[in-house]
Every structure is written in structure tokens, then in C-alpha cells.
Amino acid sequence: MAKVIRRVFKLDTLSLHECSDGYYLYDYVIGMNISMRAKTEQDAYIETLLWYQKKLQDAKSDYKILNDKVQNFISHIGEEED
């Protein structure tokens, strides 16, 4: 278990702590560490940005797949009514 050395910052939604084994960036909104054991503060920020970018890409992809299915369903309903 990592020991907290100092709190770099804490906001309502995020906190960054320097621990004995690196930097940890915690997101209170989703309730988890986004970056763990980063060597520097900057590494923790970059890890976090990359994690959020990946999640955004996943959400966009999921939206596109779902939207395509909905549009396909709607077009079939329209064809059956004609």
C-alpha cells in the first residue's frame, strides 16, 4: 500500500497526491484513480488525458453503433407502414 507523502491539489472532482511509489490522480466523479504510480506530476496528467481520450473514443463508437441500429430499425418500421 502506497503511503501519501503530500497532497499536490484537491478539487471537488479531482485530487493529485504524491505517494511513496509515485503520483496518483483520483477522480471523485467516477470514484477511481485514473493515474497510479506515475513518475512525475506531468506523467499523471498525461496518463489521465489519455485515459479520458480513450473513454471519449469508446463512447463515440458506442453511440455510432447504437445510432446506426436505431436508424436501421426506424427505416424498417417506415417501410412496413408503406
Count of the separate structural domains present in the chain: 1
For residue 51, the model assigns a pLDDT of 98
The answer on pLDDT for 1 being more than 70 is no
* 28-67 tens-digit pLDDT: 999 999 999 999 999 999 999 999 999 999 999 999 999 9
Confidence of residue 2 (pLDDT cuts 50, 70, 90): confident
Supply angle C-alpha 51, 21, 30, rounded to 5.
Answer: 35
Beta bridge partners of 14: 27
Full domain range(s) for residue 10:
4-81
Mean pLDDT, residues 1-19 taken together = 94
Q: Which residue has the cell 418500421?
A: 77
The answer on pLDDT for 82 being more than 60 is no
* Average pLDDT of the chain to the nearest whole number: 94
